[in-house]
Structure 1
């Protein structure tokens, strides 16, 4: 599978974009750890990761990495090309999540868990804006969605909903935590990304003028 790097990456903004990507991916993993520690339900993929960890052993972060790598393999028949951000997504998220879980004790009081959940969702929206805004490649799961959209002609909304519901159902069946946090994430993440992404996106290069 060839690694794709946008042509604009050769510009002087590449160091900034790489730093923004690294910050976004790290904070995304931290946000996942915060939501998991709240024990009120995570996003559908994390419900799956948690269920896999409970049944097959290993840390939740390890399964974030394993599932990300497996999803990336599905890009091959879809003829998707990963970017630097795609590979970084696979390598960084799980490690950052496990580091957060190792440093943050599990709270018991609901008065602590609710703000923890809210902080995790807010940070997730910010982190998404950072790593997508760096324009260095989508995450494996987002790339799977866009690849299926391109190959099948089905709407992005339909494919995204189908993927999310499928992994959520499998995660619940495996014992992953599903709850108010899952619903809160589903309702809040779209508006949050819409808020942060335009403010954090690195401007695309202007087209090169052609002399006549």
Structure 2
């Protein structure tokens, strides 16, 4: 038996699903993953109740609710598994966090919406919108930092970038423009919040991510 202490692997690692679970520190990583995913759903609900514009993918989700007998949380779950089907030709590897993301975010959003009313005052709606965007950035840093697998939409972005040779920024922009256009065609909600989200979510996630990356054992 080796007596050498495990050396933490600093930064984000690209591990397969089994290796992610074997990398240790699950007592920290699992709670962080699920708190982050629940917070992500709460952030979605805040932006919906603010009614000042949704995140790009949620424009699509809100559009789907106008044509299918589903709640917006259920639409998130359905689209998550549709996106996961696109992982197959891209050969992306899902992890526990990937499947959890597909389920927990949508259910958390619906649960939060059941508790939140529709505010009338513009200042309150604006506060909910800004709070939702900030919370989404924090939640994203938390679940990515847990290192238990990319979310369905994150994996689609990274898979397309790897397969096409295009930059992550270009692929992300293309995907978000596409889902916004499709969402608008379906009657989804676009507004100031959509623009602010697009501008702020990257910098916010980058700001908080270093503090939430859990070092893994080799």
Deviating above 3 A after TM superposition, structure 1's stretches of 4 or more consecutive aligned residues are none
Q: Indicate the residue corresponding to 1:171 in structure 2.
A: 183
TM-score normalised by length of structure 1: 0.92
The 8 Å contact of residues 4 and 84 in structure 1, kept in 2 or not, is answered as no
- Would you say 1:78 and 2:96 are equivalent positions? no
1:104: Cα distance to partner?
0.1
- Would you say 1:182 and 2:205 are equivalent positions? no
Q: Indicate the residue corresponding to 1:46 in structure 2.
A: 58
Q: Indicate the residue corresponding to 1:210 in structure 2.
A: none
- Would you say 1:203 and 2:215 are equivalent positions? yes
Compared CA separation, residues 72 and 155, structure 1 to 2 (3 A): same
Point out where structure 1 has 5 or more consecutive residues left out of the alignment. Answer: 208-212
Q: Indicate the residue corresponding to 2:28 in structure 1.
A: 16
The within-5 A match list for 1:124-139 is 124-139=136-151
TM-score normalised by length of structure 2: 0.90
2-side partners of 1:16 and 1:173: how far apart?
A: 42
Point out where structure 2 has 5 or more consecutive residues left out of the alignment. Answer: 1-14
- 1:103 corresponds, among 100, 115, 138, to 115
Q: Indicate the residue corresponding to 2:127 in structure 1.
A: 115
Q: What secondary structure is seen at the aligned counterpart in 1 of 2:141?
A: helix
2-side partners of 1:11 and 1:161: how far apart?
A: 33
1:63: Cα distance to partner?
0.3
1:173: Cα distance to partner?
1.4
Q: Give the alignment's Cα RMSD to 1 decimal.
A: 1.4
Q: Indicate the residue corresponding to 1:158 in structure 2.
A: 170
2-side partners of 1:11 and 1:186: how far apart?
A: 33
Q: What secondary structure is seen at the aligned counterpart in 1 of 2:189?
A: coil
Aligned residues: 204
Compared CA separation, residues 79 and 118, structure 1 to 2 (3 A): same
Q: What secondary structure is seen at the aligned counterpart in 2 of 1:74?
A: helix
1-side partners of 2:141 and 2:174: how far apart?
A: 23
